[in-house]
Amino acid sequence: MERYTVSLEDELADEFEQFIQQRGYKNRSEAIRDLIRDKLKQEWLETEPDSHCVGCLNYVYNHQERDLARRLTEAHHGHHDLNLSTLHIHLDNDNCLESVILKGTTSEVQAFADRVISQPGVRHGRLFVLPQNS
Ligand code: NI
């Protein structure tokens, strides 16, 4: 374990203390470790499109919307090699939540998520990605 000493301006230190309390961190080190991991993961996503990842794609859609359910099914079948599992929840009479677990290269997973999220009628689309070997 390496130790770092970091100097922060008062204003930034105050904001950081608020962040720690709001998120419920037990100490500063754990908060800083998570921030660093998050930033490194972001860097990795941007610079290593061929690396392997697992992704969780969540979105809500109206299954009554014309042709949408068929288009989504087509997108899933077209990328069956990426799709490990899909959880489908009927939220109410009209709306469905799907949570899809994906595995593949970062660029493939991102492209699939973009294709699903950009379908007219898909809302609250969000992809969460982790390096496969983390
Ligand atoms: Ni449904």
Distance between Cα 81 and ligand 1 center (Å): 23
Q: What is the pLDDT of residues 94-117, one digit of tens each?
A: 999 999 999 999 999 999 999 999
Confidence at residue 134, expressed as pLDDT on a 0 to 100 scale = 59
Distance between Cα 108 and ligand 1 center (Å): 26
Lowest mean pLDDT among 9-18, 46-55, 88-97: 46-55
Alpha carbons 63 and 90: distance in angstroms, whole number:
9
Distance between Cα 123 and ligand 1 center (Å): 14
Radius of gyration of the chain measured on its C-alpha atoms: 19
Please give the model's pTM, rounded to 2 decimal places: 0.77
Percent helix, strand and coil across the chain, each rounded to 5? 45, 30, 30
Q: Determine what percent of the chain is predicted with pLDDT higher than 90.
A: 77
